[in-house]
């Protein structure tokens, strides 16, 4: 059974749904972050798969962009989480509701 692009897409969809579910269901900020990374990488997988199937380089180029942005985002996000944890001794997002309207 050959691995067709459909399989890649299906895997990416599964990974994306796991990520989305993790983000919606988990309270720990760190775990939510990891879920977001999972979603980003699911998208990356679709990019490279489509790039190879269509035989173009743009897919891989887009992936590099996503990786760079994700790296930058993680730096900022982790810094915020650590700063919050130092003040509050917690990483649960459900307790961080000061911005409620």
Partner 1 sequence: MDLSLSLIIFLPMGGMLLLFGFGKRIGEPGAGIVATLAVVGSFLIAVVLAFDFINGDGPAETVRWFEWLPAFGVEAELRWDQLSALMTLVVTGVGSLIHLYSIGYMRGDPGFGRFFSYLNLFITSMLILVLANNFALLFVGWELVGLSSYLLISFWFERPIAAAAGKKAFIVNRVGDVGFILALMLIFSVFGSLGFDTVFEGAHRGELTVTMATAIALLLLVGAAGKSAQLPLYVWLPDAMEGPTPVSALIHAATMVTAGVYMVARTGAIFELAPIAAATVAVVGGATALFAATIAIAQRDIKRVLAYSTISQLGYMFMGVGAAAYTAGVFHLMTHAFFKALLFLGAGSVIHGMSGEQDMHKMGGLARKMPVTFATMAIAWLAISGIPPFAGFWSKDEILGVVFERGGLWQVLWGVGLVTALLTAFYMTRMMWLTFFGEPRWDDGVEPHESPRLMTVPLVVLAGLSVVGGLVNTPFKATLEHFLDPVFEAVHLAHAPDGSLAWILAAVSVAAGIIGIGAAILRYRSRVPVEDGLGWRLLGNGYYIDDVYAGVFAGGGKLGADWLAFRFDVRGIDGAVEGIGSLTRKAGGWLRPLQTGFVRSYGLAIIAGAVGLLAWFLSRGGI
* Binding interface with partner 1 (CB under 8 A): 20, 23-25, 27, 32, 93-94, 96-101
Our measurement of the distance from residue 51's CA atom to the centroid of its chain's CA atoms, rounded to an integer in Å, reads 20
Task: Return the number of the residue (64 or 82) whose C-beta is nearest partner 1.
Answer: 82
Task: Return the number of the residue (27 or 52) whose C-beta is nearest partner 1.
Answer: 27
Q: Closest distance between partner 1 and the C-beta of residue 38, in Å?
A: 14
Q: Closest distance between partner 1 and the C-beta of residue 63, in Å?
A: 20
Rounded CA-CA distance 17/20 in Å is: 5
Residue-by-residue DSSP string for 13-61: HHHHHHHHHHHHH--BHHHHHHHHHHHHHHHHHHHHHHHHHHT-SHHHH
Q: Closest distance between partner 1 and the C-beta of residue 27, in Å?
A: 8
């Amino acid at each position: 059974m050959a691995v067709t692009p459909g399989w890649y897409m299906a895997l990416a969809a599964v990974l994306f749904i796991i990520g989305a579910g993790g983000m919606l269901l988990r309270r720990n900020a760190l775990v939510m972050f990891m879920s977001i990374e999972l979603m980003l990488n699911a998208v990356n997988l679709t990019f490279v798969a489509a790039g190879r199937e269509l035989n173009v380089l743009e897919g891989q180029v887009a992936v590099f962009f996503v990786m760079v942005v994700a790296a930058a985002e993680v730096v900022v996000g982790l810094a915020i989480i650590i700063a919050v944890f130092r003040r509050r001794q917690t990483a649960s997002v459900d307790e961080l509701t000061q911005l409620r309207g």
